[in-house]
Amino acid sequence: MKKIDVYAKIIRILTIAPIMALCALSILYRLCPDIFIGYFDYIASIIFLTVLPISAYPLQPFIPKFCFKGREGQRNLAIIMGVLGYLFSIVFALYFNVSKELLIIYLVYFISGIGIVLFNRILKIRASGHACGIVGPISILVYFIGLKALLGVIIVLLVYWASLKIKRHTVSQLFWGSLIPICSLIIAVLYVN
């Protein structure tokens, strides 16, 4: 394996959607603490947007429907666990009356998860969940903290390069995966406001 391919794989592993969610939530907790009514909201958001989605990776070998399907099984289980976490976040938001800003974040993730399922399963247009999981948090950061968060575009470009380099996605798959969270953010903001 070429050294450059190893770097591409490392970039993709370090930028999976749950890790990016954790980074975005932590940045927001530090820079915009009013988004979280208290520490409990911050921890709950990590559980819904990071812990539940990332649990797909250690759970895959133990779930018969997914354990023998390799990378595709892992990808499908990750989508299911992600959407489940996002759904729980919406229920939590409605039950515990979280801030308007945190509701927007939860809606972005939920709508994006539904969008990925819609594109990949129903429309049969493969949209990159990885691109969605990168562009979503960066879009959220830009919305809440401003243009300085556009530095995150460097991460987006690295992920695009890595995905194309190891042939995990095509340009069109990256495009659709990136468009979904941007549209989700617009829908969430319009809905909440």
pLDDT in tens, 139-167: 999 999 999 999 999 999 999 999 999 99
Residue 96 neighbours by CB under 8 Å, 6+ apart: 41, 44
What is the per-residue burial (b if ≥16 Cβ within 10 Å, else e) of 81-95? bbbbbbbbbbebbee
Residues 73 and 183: their CA atoms lie apart, in Å, by 27
Residues 163 and 16: their CA atoms lie apart, in Å, by 12
Q: Are 34 and 99 in contact (CB under 8 A)?
A: yes
How large a percentage of the chain has pLDDT more than 70?
A: 99
pLDDT confidence of residue 1 = 60
pLDDT in tens, 20-55: 999 999 999 999 999 999 999 999 999 999 999 999
pLDDT in tens, 82-111: 999 999 999 999 999 999 999 999 999 999
